[in-house]
Amino acid sequence: MLGLTLVVTIGKYLLLAGLYAFVFVVFRGMMGQIAAESARATEGGRRGRRREVASRRAIMPQVTTRPARPPRAASPPAPEPALERAPQAAQQAPPAREASAPEAAPEPVAPAETPPAAPPAPAAPHLRVLESDDERLSAGDTLPLSAAVTIGRSDENSVRLSDRFVSSRHALICLRDGRRLLVDRGSTNGTFLNGERVEEEVELHDGDRIAMGNTVFEYHVG
Amino acid sequence: MIPRSQRTELALLLFAAALVGFGAALVCLGMGFPVWRVTRALAVVGAFIAGAMMLDLADPRRDRWLLPIMAAISGVGFLLLWQLDGGSASRQIVWMITGAGIMVAVYYLIEDVRDLARLKYTSGVLALVLVGLTLAFGVEKGGARLWLAIPGVIMFQPTEPVKVLMCIFLAGYVADRRELLREDTHRVAGFQMPRARHIAPLLLMVIFALTIFVGQRDLGAAVLFFGLFVAMAYLATGRKSYSILALVLFAGGAVGAYHAFPHVAARVDMWLNPWADPENRGYQILQSMFALAEGGLVGTGFATGGGDTIPAATTDLIFAVGAQQFGLLGAVAIVVLYALAAHRSFSIAWRATDNFGALLAAALAVVFSLQTLVILGGVTRLIPLTGITLPFMSYGGTSVIVNFIALALLLAISRDCTPHRPPGEVLPR
């Protein structure tokens, strides 16, 4: 009986030791993986690229359509007509993106992907760029509008403008009760609709001119 | 040649199996079971190993750490359960194997987690229906109406599936309206609040669920869902004002519930002073405290009894039994395992490549951590004790199966984090 108690007691310590060994191995392994990943990220790897891609996506209409997704996925109806109307742009885009897929491959400069002669004309609500300081935007580019699009200088915006007269969180264009609204998010230099400064929010109509900093957009319903 | 990450996972799973097998041998020795019954404990870890291999047949690009951690937690939980109640333990093996099978099935079925976003309203309605049915036709067990039964066919606890359904609903709803919730705001009493039309369906749903849970006397679930809602509001918008407001609401609600519902008041009173009624209402928490005290630093070891006097020892209070047998050291190891699992789940959320996947993973991670926190806090008398299961350790068919489904969803989301996808897939909208 004493022998059994002894065995069970020793076993208890061994089990505790084993449990801690397991915890240690898992912990070290997980942290090791995280360290390796962040090292890759600082070399311009995944995370660095993710941010760059995110801002590029917001600006490039071709990239906002999701060609890699199977068509059965319920994506908003907007991208489909865009693809049909601009077959050349749509066909051009995927190979270019596949070529950039390998690790740390430099992203092609955004405007290179756009055939300058024939910018696509989406049927969905969109903004057309009239003037911009941002070298990634040129006059005539279109930006499709989802239910809510934020515009500003910081990375978190769905449309990022590198324009030093644009605030980091500058404006919002959103759909509310079927009306498309332009909301100024307390910007320093103001948001202007057809030359008048927007106080808080204002409804948008087809052909309206939206200006912020050195950037001018034109709003189109379709 | 098996890839390195896959080998690491297999090695860790085998490590867990060895650990649990050794523990099972000690249990057999101490309890006087025949030695071949060690295979019962190995079957629990074996379910994870077989599951891991079958997942790799579908898509090997997934998280490699969650399964070993859960396997170790489940194995240790099983060893405790085994000594307490042989019948429950046998059923638990069946549940674990079934659960692992369901995990594999879910992982196979979900080609792309984003497809689940389309089911957000279905999940939301289903969750409410389940909760409503329980309230209307539920079977009462131990003072709470938690069970739903189709007589002779099936009997389950709807709270468990409702957790996952609510995660899908909240993640889907919030992912769609993230920017509206964040930016289309107005100022109310110094707080930037989202407009009522964006947040009303969400609030309505949560208030309805909470009312029903409080009516059902399932306080653990009520706290869990409230916490999930607050976490989602914060994760989606990054606005601290929502969290502060929610905490204020929670404090108000807690005080209100204390005065309005006698069963809430009883829980709090027993937490503050269990000695007021040690034989009756304070019995459970006191037995838990005794178990923790008896465990000391290194515990009493297997097969030393313990748990016989603790009510709900196999389910809600299994941690107290573990702490008695393995002491503070063992209890801390278990808590660290849970923390690592939570870290991993949030890490999957952080890496997810789209809003819905990230929010769903985060929601599941919040539910998992909050649930662990609520019951561990309750058992150790850090917070009032409310009945809720300890994921993967407690006995219970519904709980085990739903935990496996949640695990399958997390693993499916982790598939999207691999760098093989074209960069255009990143962050839609």
pLDDT for B221 equals 84
Is residue B425 situated within a structural domain?
no
Is residue B51 situated within a structural domain?
yes
Query: In the predicted model, is pLDDT for residue B316 greater than 80?
Result: yes
pLDDT for A81 equals 39
Is residue B45 situated within a structural domain?
yes
Are residues B313 and B396 in contact, defined by beta-carbon separation less than 8 angstroms?
no
Are residues B119 and B129 in contact, defined by beta-carbon separation less than 8 angstroms?
no
End-to-end Cα, chain B, rounded Å = 40
Greater pLDDT, B227 or A22: A22
End-to-end Cα, chain A, rounded Å = 87
Spatial neighbors of A23 by CB under 8 A, at least 6 apart, are B333, B336, B337, B340
> Which chain A residues in 144-163 lie under 8 Å from chain B, judged by CB atoms?
146-150, 158
The residue with tokens 């009516």 is: B215
pLDDT digit string (tens) for B95-151?
A: 999 999 999 999 999 888 888 888 988 998 998 888 888 877 777 765 566 677 766
Q: How far is CA B128 from CA A185, B196, B207, B213, in A?
A: 37, 21, 11, 11
Query: In the predicted model, is pLDDT for residue B409 greater than 80?
Result: yes
Is residue B422 situated within a structural domain?
no
pLDDT digit string (tens) for B240-281?
A: 777 888 888 888 888 888 888 888 888 888 899 888 888 888
Greater pLDDT, A149 or B401: B401
**B428–A64 C-beta distance less than 8 A:** yes
The residue with tokens 């980091």 is: A168
Are residues A130 and A209 in contact, defined by beta-carbon separation less than 8 angstroms?
yes
Taking the C-alpha atoms of residue A159 and residue A149, their distance in angstroms, rounded to an integer, is 7
pLDDT digit string (tens) for A168-193?
A: 888 888 877 778 889 888 888 889 89
Q: Which residues of B295-307 are buried (b: 16+ CB within 10 A; e: fewer)?
A: beebbbbbbbebb
Average pLDDT, chain A: 68
> Which chain A residues in 71-110 lie under 8 Å from chain B, judged by CB atoms?
73-74, 97-98, 100-101, 103, 107
**Quick one: B332 exposed, middle or buried, by C-beta within 10 A (0-12, 13-18, 19+)?**
middle
Query: In the predicted model, is pLDDT for residue A50 greater than 50?
Result: no
Query: In the predicted model, is pLDDT for residue B408 greater than 60?
Result: yes
Query: In the predicted model, is pLDDT for residue B286 greater than 60?
Result: yes
Show the CA angle centred on residue B35, arms to residues B34 and B40, nearest 5°: 95
- Of the listed ranges A48-62, A151-165, B9-23, the one predicted with least confidence: A48-62
pLDDT for B78 equals 94
Is residue B188 situated within a structural domain?
yes
Q: CA B402, B65, A41, A32 torsion: positive or negative?
A: positive
Query: In the predicted model, is pLDDT for residue B344 greater than 70?
Result: yes
- What is this model's ipTM? 0.88
The number of folded domains in chain B is 1
Taking the C-alpha atoms of residue B283 and residue B276, their distance in angstroms, rounded to an integer, is 10
Amino acid at position B285, single letter: I
B5 Cα distance to chain centroid: 26
Taking the C-alpha atoms of residue B128 and residue B134, their distance in angstroms, rounded to an integer, is 10
> Which chain B residues in 328-387 lie under 8 Å from chain A, judged by CB atoms?
329-330, 333, 336-337, 340, 343-344, 347, 353
pLDDT digit string (tens) for B151-188?
A: 656 678 888 899 999 999 999 988 887 777 777 777 76
Residue B275 neighbours by CB distance under 10 Å: 8
> Which DSSP string corresponds to B330-342?
HHHHHHHHHHHHH
pLDDT for B190 equals 65
Is residue B429 situated within a structural domain?
no
pLDDT for B43 equals 94
Both tokens of B292, joined, read 């923790």
pLDDT band at B382 (very low <50, low <70, confident <90, very high): very high
pLDDT for B424 equals 35
At residue B398, the 3 state secondary structure works out as helix
B18 touches chain A (CB under 8 A): yes
Residue B99 neighbours by CB distance under 10 Å: 26
- Of the listed ranges A97-101, B199-203, B241-245, the one predicted with least confidence: A97-101
pTM, 2 dp: 0.73
Query: In the predicted model, is pLDDT for residue A135 greater than 70?
Result: yes
Is residue B320 situated within a structural domain?
yes
Amino acid at position A88, single letter: Q
> Which DSSP string corresponds to B267-294?
HHHHHH-GGGSTTTTTHHHHHHHHHHHH
Average pLDDT, chain B: 84
- Of the listed ranges A42-46, B79-83, B400-404, B405-409, the one predicted with least confidence: A42-46
pLDDT band at B206 (very low <50, low <70, confident <90, very high): confident
Nearest to B301 among A8, A57, A183 (CB): A8
Query: In the predicted model, is pLDDT for residue A90 greater than 60?
Result: no
**A101–B422 C-beta distance less than 8 A:** yes
**B12–A25 C-beta distance less than 8 A:** yes
pLDDT band at A43 (very low <50, low <70, confident <90, very high): low
**Pairing verdict, β B154-156 and B144-150:** antiparallel
> Which chain A residues in 35-74 lie under 8 Å from chain B, judged by CB atoms?
45-46, 49-50, 53-54, 57, 63-64, 66-69, 73-74
- Residue B316: give the domain boundaries: 4-416
Taking the C-alpha atoms of residue B396 and residue B316, their distance in angstroms, rounded to an integer, is 10
Is residue B427 situated within a structural domain?
no
Q: How far is CA A207 from CA A131, A201, A211, B266, in A?
A: 15, 17, 13, 65
Percent of chain A with pLDDT over 90: 8
